């Protein structure tokens, strides 16, 4: 087995292929033609059985991973925190794209991480729509904030109002496309219905969870799910020095942010999370720590209903 490490950037891909004691390096543009060049380069190295590893960087990694998977290679998408920890274990001080690619290849050879399973075409479409919806929502919020700014001329106000109206219409259109996607794919719709059975998760949040974690039910355990979203607690204790626990925040930021307001709602209306919040409050935990714990628990509940195929049952979950 040969091992391929790829450092994925917005503009370029830097790859290192380990074949026994020999290492080959290649850099290509991060584009359709560049990924084809990379595939040709791998074939020219006479590498047939390849295990490729990439860090999880959202859509940039997934596009490359899909091409490599379709070429018949084993592909793993790894949490960046694991690669960072591996670099620290090697006491690596130099950081360049080529060095990072070689590091990822060595990590792949040593740890042989689980193979990535590509999402279905409808799940890929959902992810694309959900991410575009979120981008437009952020744009609209920025424009609304500008509209409330001082010393706006009438012409600028008119332009801002027109853009806000346009963005609102686009959000409505994408929302309808998302709903149509669910209606056209019963398995996807069933997953959404399972998620919305959890108090605190509405249809929008369900779509974002499924878009960002299309294979959530295939994670090996709740710790892996929490780590993917960057919701694992990070503890610090060295001798007599203790610091407050915080979130690792090394996972999928889009997924993490999508759980913030649902967690606040769940602290009021979801019996499991409401009790969790009460216990943490009685222990003197800060408000943000309680919300973070609620976000993690909400994602764990989502994992549970999708894994079991059964809707939320507070009595069962509490047992």
Q: What is the pLDDT of residues 85-133, one digit of tens each?
A: 888 888 777 778 888 999 999 999 999 998 988 888 999 899 999 999 9
Together in a domain, 97 and 135: no
Q: Is residue 206 part of a domain?
A: no
Q: Is residue 254 part of a domain?
A: yes
Q: With cut-offs at 50, 70 and 90, classify the pLDDT of residue 234.
A: low
Specify whether the CB–CB gap between 51 and 4 falls below 8 A: yes
CB-count exposure of residue 188 (10 Å: 0-12, 13-18, 19+) = buried
- Count Cβ atoms below 10 Å from residue 121 Cβ, excluding itself: 9
Task: Give the pLDDT confidence score for residue 319 in this predicted structure.
Answer: 42
Whether 317 shows a pLDDT value over 70: the answer reads no
Length of the chain: 319
Together in a domain, 244 and 302: yes
Whether 18 shows a pLDDT value over 70: the answer reads yes
Whether 267 shows a pLDDT value over 90: the answer reads yes
Q: Is residue 50 part of a domain?
A: yes
Task: Give the pLDDT confidence score for residue 170 in this predicted structure.
Answer: 97
Read off the pLDDT of each residue in 18-45 and give the average, rounded to a whole number. 91
Residues 6+ apart with CB under 8 A from 84: 250
Q: With cut-offs at 50, 70 and 90, classify the pLDDT of residue 282.
A: very high
Together in a domain, 79 and 162: no
Q: Is residue 191 part of a domain?
A: no
Q: Is residue 10 part of a domain?
A: yes
Q: Is residue 136 part of a domain?
A: yes
pLDDT tens digits for range 216-233 = 877 788 888 888 888 876
Q: With cut-offs at 50, 70 and 90, classify the pLDDT of residue 62.
A: confident
Helix segments in the chain, DSSP class H: 32-44, 59-70, 80-89, 97-111, 121-147, 154-184, 186-196, 203-212, 222-229, 253-258, 260-269, 271-282, 287-308, 314-318
Together in a domain, 68 and 165: no
Together in a domain, 305 and 243: yes
Task: Give the pLDDT confidence score for residue 173 in this predicted structure.
Answer: 97
Total structural domains within the chain: 3
Q: What percent of the chain has pLDDT over 90?
A: 61
Q: Is residue 173 part of a domain?
A: yes
Task: Give the pLDDT confidence score for residue 228 in this predicted structure.
Answer: 81
Average predicted confidence (pLDDT) for the chain: 88
Together in a domain, 78 and 107: yes
Range of the domain at 179: 121-184
- End position of a domain, from candidates 111, 146, 174: 111
Q: Is residue 198 part of a domain?
A: no
CA distances from 253 to 33, 256, 316 (A): 29, 5, 30
Between 127 and 62, residue with greater pLDDT: 127
Report the C-alpha gap between 169 and 78 in whole angstroms. 37
Q: What percent of the chain has pLDDT over 70?
A: 92
Together in a domain, 79 and 164: no
Task: Give the pLDDT confidence score for residue 57 in this predicted structure.
Answer: 72
- End position of a domain, from candidates 143, 162, 184: 184
Task: Give the pLDDT confidence score for residue 88 in this predicted structure.
Answer: 86
Together in a domain, 7 and 89: yes
Together in a domain, 106 and 152: no
Task: Give the pLDDT confidence score for residue 84 in this predicted structure.
Answer: 85
Q: With cut-offs at 50, 70 and 90, classify the pLDDT of residue 61.
A: confident
Task: Give the pLDDT confidence score for residue 215 in this predicted structure.
Answer: 82
Q: With cut-offs at 50, 70 and 90, classify the pLDDT of residue 21.
A: confident
pLDDT tens digits for range 235-251 = 444 444 444 554 545 56
Q: With cut-offs at 50, 70 and 90, classify the pLDDT of residue 63.
A: confident
Together in a domain, 92 and 127: no
Classify 101 as helix, strand or coil.
helix
Report the C-alpha gap between 61 and 6 in whole angstroms. 9
CA distances from 54 to 66, 88, 193, 209 (A): 12, 18, 32, 22
Read off the pLDDT of each residue in 137-160 and give the average, rounded to a whole number. 93
Task: Give the pLDDT confidence score for residue 239 in this predicted structure.
Answer: 46
Together in a domain, 166 and 227: no
Q: What is the CATH number of the domain that holds 50?
A: 3.30.420.40
- End position of a domain, from candidates 184, 203, 231: 184
| Nearest in space to 159 (alpha carbons), one of 143, 148, 175, 145 | 143
Together in a domain, 43 and 81: yes
Task: Give the pLDDT confidence score for residue 106 in this predicted structure.
Answer: 94
Task: Give the pLDDT confidence score for residue 236 in this predicted structure.
Answer: 42
Read off the pLDDT of each residue in 254-266 and give the average, rounded to a whole number. 92
pTM score, whole prediction: 0.77
């Amino acid at each position: 087995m040969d091992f391929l490490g790829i450092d994925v950037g917005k503009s370029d891909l830097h790859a290192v292929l380990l074949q026994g004691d020999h290492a080959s390096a290649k850099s290509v543009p991060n584009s359709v033609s560049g990924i084809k060049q990379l595939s040709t380069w791998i074939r020219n190295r006479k590498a047939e059985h390849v295990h490729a590893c990439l860090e999880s960087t959202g859509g940039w990694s997934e596009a490359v991973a899909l091409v490599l998977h379709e070429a018949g290679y084993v592909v793993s998408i790894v949490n960046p925190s694991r690669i960072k920890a591996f670099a620290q274990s090697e006491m690596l001080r130099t950081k360049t794209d080529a060095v990072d690619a070689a590091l990822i290849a060595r990590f792949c050879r040593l740890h042989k991480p689980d193979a990535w399973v590509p999402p279905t075409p409808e799940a890929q479409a959902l992810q694309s729509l959900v991410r575009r919806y979120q981008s437009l929502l952020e744009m609209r919020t920025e424009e609304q904030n500008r509209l409330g700014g001082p010393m706006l001329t009438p012409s600028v106000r008119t332009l801002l109002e027109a853009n806000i109206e346009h963005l609102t219409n686009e959000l409505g259109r994408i929302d309808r496309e998302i709903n149509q996607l669910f209606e056209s794919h019963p398995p996807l719709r069933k997953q959404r219905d399972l998620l919305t059975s959890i108090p605190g998760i509405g249809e929008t949040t369900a779509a974002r969870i499924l878009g960002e974690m299309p294979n959530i039910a295939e994670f090996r355990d709740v710790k892996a799910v929490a780590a993917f979203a960057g919701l694992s607690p990070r503890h610090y204790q060295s001798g007599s020095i203790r610091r407050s626990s915080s979130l690792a925040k090394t996972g999928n930021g889009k997924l993490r942010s999508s759980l913030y307001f649902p967690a606040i709602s769940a602290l009021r209306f979801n019996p499991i999370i409401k009790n969790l919040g009460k216990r943490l409050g009685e222990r003197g935990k800060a408000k943000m720590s309680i919300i973070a714990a609620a976000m993690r628990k909400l994602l764990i509940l989502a994992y549970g209903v999708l894994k079991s195929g059964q809707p939320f049952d507070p009595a069962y979950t509490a047992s």
